[in-house]
Structure 1
Amino acid sequence: MKNQRKIVLFIAQSLDGYIAAKGDSLEWLFRVEGEGDNGFSEFFETVDTVIMGKRTYDWIMNQENGQFPYQTKDCYVFSRSDLHDTDHVKFVNEDSVTFTDHLKKEEGKNIWMVGGGDLLHTFLKEKLVDELILTVAPTIIGEGIPLFKTGDYELELSLKGTRTFNQFVELHYVVKRR
């Protein structure tokens, strides 16, 4: 039997748990001295599929001046609206559990969950995320968009490893399954 693909969250956060400051700014992140690309290229080679929510997609497209940066990967954007697919993105307006179960059973590499917010909250509640790779910046920003929303859910994690990239610390967790 083949191994099932995993959904992996790979994201940076401030020490106080925010993924963006007020106004969706990431300026705080770029002021921290890293090392190379802080493990991004290595991680990017382990995935062939990217999933994200519509808000994250819109933010990326705005930051990248309309040029989708993950053209070499299959990409699915979850949206509550019916939207037309593009050359590089398929929009998904169906149950996340059903869609994800099907996606995880397909042949391929791991699946990268880009961004946080509502989609991550849903995926955590439904226990769809298999691994979390959090890169922590030594910055406290006080307010903004939290990585983890409050809610009625719990996940038990097991530490798989840690690495440092100059001032950044990467924490790699595997979600424990019962």
Structure 2
Amino acid sequence: MSQKRHVVLFIASSLDGYIATKDESLEWLFKVEGKGDNGFSQFYETTDTILMGKKTYDWIIKQGMEHFPYKDKDCYVFTRSTMEDTEDVKVVQNDVTSFVQSLKNQSGKNIWIVGGGELLHTFLQAHLVDELIITVAPTLIGTGIPLFKERNDHINLSLKDTQKFNQFVELHYEVIN
């Protein structure tokens, strides 16, 4: 019997709800003392598919890593602009909702939303997100790129688990539809 795939957000945030500074810096995050990889490896093993927006993809590419960090996963980049598939990613420009629903109906592991902002907002609006795993850093940025955009509706959550990684606290929520 196969288990239904979940779309999961796994991300770090400042205590005041920002995922990066206005200039897309994460330096504030790396100054916080964690424990090991703060649960990343354990989470990563539960996924086989990565979804991200073009801004997140561009940010990853700008980091100048020797290898694309998600080579061992199916990786999709959602964009409205012109972009070609690469060895590492497939570009999605069609209907987000039907594409993600088709992924959820396939057999496999969980589907990870990498990054926040526009894509996360679109997914939340379309009721595509099943779980939120937010690792909160004890830092107040004051301004920056918010994890959640302003919304006109409510999303109910149920707390599944919490974990502490030294100074970080991971909050694991299930979305109640």
TM-score range, shorter chain: over 0.9
Q: For the residues of structure 1 that align with 2:57 and 2:153, how far apart are their CA atoms?
A: 25
SS of the equivalent of 1:29 reads helix
What is the match of residue 44 of structure 2?
44
After TM superposition, the structure 1 stretch with the greater mean CA deviation from structure 2, 66-75 or 83-92, is 66-75
Structure 2: distance between partners of 1:32 and 1:173: 23
Question: 2: distance between equivalents of 1:82 and 1:5?
Answer: 29
CA–CA separation in structure 1 for the residues paired with 2:120 and 2:127: 10
- Residue 66 of structure 1 and its aligned partner are, at CA, apart by 6.4
| Correspondence for 1:82 | 82
Q: Does 1:117 align with 2:114?
A: no
Q: Which runs of 5+ in 1 are unaligned?
A: none
- In structure 1, the residue matched to 2:63 is 63
Give me the TM-score of the superposition, normalised by structure 2: 0.97
Letter in 2 for 1:151: R
Which residue is 1:7 aligned to? 7
Q: Distance in 1 between matches of 2:66 and 2:79?
A: 18
| 1:124–1:153 Cα contact (<8 Å) kept | no
Alignment of 1:101-112 (within 5 A): 101-112=101-112
Deviation digits for residues 117-160 of structure 1 (CA, Å, limit 9, x no counterpart): 10000101111000000000000000000000002232100000
The percent of aligned pairs where both chains have the same amino acid is: 64
Name 1:133's counterpart in structure 2: 133
Paired residue secondary structure (2:23): helix
Runs of 4+ in structure 1 off by over 2 angstroms are 64-67
Indicate the SS of the match to 2:37: coil
Three-state SS of the structure 2 residue aligned to 1:164 is strand
The answer for the alignment partner of 2:170 in structure 1 is 170
Asked whether the 8 Å contact 1:125–1:154 carries over to 2, the reply is no
Distance in 2 between residues matched to 1:66 and 1:165, nearest whole Å: 28
> Can you list the C-alpha shifts for 1:80-132, whole angstroms capped at 9, x where unaligned?
02321111100000111000000111110000000001000010111100000
Equivalents in 1 of 2:33, 2:19: separation in Å? 17
Give the partner amino acid of 1:34. Answer: G
- SS across alignment from 1:133: strand
Alignment RMSD: 1.1
Indicate the SS of the match to 1:22.
coil
CA distance in 2, matches of 1:74, 1:64: 21
- Is 2:24 aligned against 1:27? no
**In structure 1, distance between residues paired with 2:76 and 2:3:** 22
